[in-house]
Amino acid sequence: MTPDQIGFVTLLRKEVKRFWSVLGQTVTAPVVTTMLYLLVFAQAMKDRASVYEGVSYTEFLVPGLVMMAVIQNAFANTSSSLIQSKVMGNIVFLQMAPLGPLQWFGAYVLAALLRAALVALTMLAVTLPFVPLPVTSPLALVAVFVLTGASLAVMGLIAGILAEKFDHIAAFTNFFVTPLSFLSGVFYSVHALPPLWYHASHFNPFFYMIDGFRYGFFGHADVPIWQSLAWCAGFFGVASAICLRMLVTGYKLKK
C-alpha cells in the first residue's frame, strides 16, 4: 500500500476503535432514547395522528426515529472526534502523517457511517419483534441512508473545524441538528400541518432524509422519492465541497 493508503486505513481504524470502545455511549444510549420516544409517542398519538393509508402510527414512527438517531450520531462522531483532537493538541500528529484532504475526509466520513449503521441496525433489531416493517424499496432505503449519514458526518467535520471548544459543538447540536431533526416530520406527516408550516418543511433538508427513508419501507411518502434523493445528494455535494475546501486550505487547523 502507498503511504496515503496506509494513513487512510490507520485513521479509519483509530476512528472505529474510538466509538467501539464506548458502545454504551455510542449505541446503547441512542437505542434506549429511541425506545422511550417510541413508547411515549406511540401510546399518546396512535389514535390521534393520521398517517399513510394501511400504515399504523407506530410503524410510521419507527423509521423516523431510526433516521433521527442516524443524523445525530453521524454528526456527533466526526464533530466530537475532531474537536477532541484540537482541544487536546494531538491533531498535530494527524497533520504530520502522510494524509491528504481526501484521506482525512474519507476516513472520518466512513467511520461515522459505520457508527450510524450500527445504531440503525441495533434499533431495527430491537423494535422488529414489536413493530415488524416491510421493506418495499431496499435500493432507495440504502441510498437515502448512505447520503444522510455521509451528509451529517461532513457537517460534523465542518462543525469540528469551525469549533474552538466543546461548547461550540454543543451550540451546533442544539441550534442546528436537534431543531431541524424534530421539525422534519419524525413524529408526524407534513400533510397534517397548516399551509405555512407545510411549505416551510420543504426547505428543511432533514425532512427529505426522513421521508425518503420511510419510502424505502412503505413504498410511498409525503414527497416523491426522486425529490428526496435529489435533496440528499445536493446537500451532501454542497457540504462536501465546503468541507474539502477547508481541509485543503487548512482553515482553522493550521496554527
Q: What is the reported pLDDT for 233? A: 97
Q: For residue range 145-164, what is the model confidence (pLDDT) as tens digits?
A: 999 999 999 999 999 999 99
Averaged pLDDT score across all residues of the chain:
90
Instruction: Give the C-alpha separation, 33 to 13, whole Å.
Output: 28
Element (H, E) at 254: none
Q: Mean per-residue pLDDT for 244-248?
A: 94
The answer to whether the CB of 217 falls within 8 A of the CB of 135 is: yes
Q: What is the value of pTM for the model shown?
A: 0.93
Q: What is the reported pLDDT for 147? A: 97
Q: For residue range 178-197, what is the model confidence (pLDDT) as tens digits?
A: 999 988 989 888 888 888 88
Q: What is the reported pLDDT for 255? A: 59
Using alpha carbons only, give the angle 213, 28, 116 rounded to the nearest 5 degrees.
35
